[in-house]
Amino acid sequence: MTRISSAPRIDFSDLRRELELPGEYPPAAVAEAEAGPHAEPRADRTDLAFVTIDPPTSMDLDQAMLLTRQGDGFRVYYAIADVAAFVAPGGALDAETWLRGQTVYLPDGKVPLHPKVMSEGKASLLPDQDTPAVLWTIDLAPDGATTHVEVERALVRSRAKLNYEMDPATLPESIALLPVIGPLLVARGLARGAINLPIPEQEISPDGDGWRLELRRQTPLEEYNAQISLLTGAAAGAMMLAGKVGLLRTMPPPDPQSVARLKTCAKALGIAWPADAKVGEVIATVSPSEPRGAAFLDAAAELMRGAGYTPFDGEVPAQPLHAGMATAYAHVTAPLRRLADRYATEVCLALHAGRPVPDWARQALPKLPDVMSRTDRRANAAERGAVDLVESVLLADRVGERFEAAVLDLDDRHGVKGGVVAVDEPAVIARCEGTMPLGERIQVTLAEADPKKRRVLFRA
């Protein structure tokens, strides 16, 4: 499901200043990025026909993939950009990445974690260049179960930069098995209790002299590609738990009361919930394109709370799981865009090789959760602020008009009944005041659209 609306040219500089986003990289940090990579032993895997799958405009390519048959099962080759080959511990570039924490995306340009000469050049897995990588080799049984994992430093060469709009029936040989392996991994996740919320995302992109606001749902190919990343993160999590040192991405399981409330919501919306079905299995049957399905998924999002990073060294955490994955999981597949991945990857390389984790990585583990939490909030605020601004500009001259909308949520703020609605056209999701039926399609009136406040309000 894709809905697109266009907005005029917008200045996002106020939002950048408000969030105190960093500007240009210090010259010393740029010089270090230009000087890399550092010379170190690595296996030559340039014979493997890797490809990348990313949005068409992306240049900071963290992952490259090759899928093959292995007996009656499968082998996943997953090459991840080796950022540690470019960033010297304690150097100017290292210090700057700790201030930034992660790449922040805005419609008029991102604020990268690393200088572009590195993240969109030497360290990116761009086609037709030899690039340092951390190569995960994961063998799968015919049902998608992991049977063997290896991780090593390697030199790789991507053959092509692909995107998510490809026809799954005509994929290149390197990833022709993705529509086979992807569903197997999805099914295994659901069976163990994983929760995947297929909620469409609001995205902003340039559109001539203005901006395009798009409500877009993941394509099947995009979902299967994500499953390879999740598979690798689960392999990393298992490796860390076995070695009793690492940095897990954790989320507590939903409490029984929250699940009971969601079951009540499902009943009210007419969503079938078989007696033996897990939360994720029920969610997988729901279409976000239907108002009742969208309302149910909005309610289900309340279960996905409390995500964070859990460092440990010598003793495994009491709660090591990520509820969305229903297993232990670590962030290791996006080091160009996320600081924590560089350190988690170094732990895995050391554990697999049977050598001590480097002091620079080990000592960083307990410090990373605070940095990632702070920069997560900043990145989320930038994303939400940009969408709010585009929505308010898009609707600024339409106050008083009536719109078709679906009711996603109900609440009572300061004694005023209301909730959240998703407008059919333009693709806006905003607060609405008034008494409304959850999961139904209604007409709403635009009461306010203020670009200065980045605020949109409807009334039922």
The label of the residue with tokens 């994992």 reads 149
Output the pLDDT for position 425. Answer: 85
Burial of 359 (0-12, 13-18, 19+ CB in 10 A): exposed
Q: What are phi and psi of 366, to 5 degrees?
A: -70, -15
| pLDDT tens for each residue of 186-233 | 999 999 999 998 888 888 877 777 787 888 888 889 999 999 999 999
**Rounded Cα gap, residues 320 and 250, in angstroms:** 6
How much of the chain exceeds pLDDT 90, in percent?
85
Output the pLDDT for position 449. Answer: 96
Q: List Cβ neighbours of 286 (8 Å cut-off, separation of 6 or more).
A: 198, 271, 293, 296, 297
| pLDDT tens for each residue of 384-432 | 999 999 999 989 999 999 999 999 999 988 889 999 999 988 889 999 9
**Rounded Cα gap, residues 251 and 262, in angstroms:** 18
SS (H, E, C) 5-18: EEECCCCCHHHHHH
Angle subtended at Cα 451 by Cα 412 and Cα 421, rounded to the nearest 5 degrees: 35
H/E element holding 94? helix 92-100
Q: Which residues of the chain are under the pLDDT cut of 50?
A: 1
Burial of 68 (0-12, 13-18, 19+ CB in 10 A): middle
Q: What are phi and psi of 440, to 5 degrees?
A: -115, 160
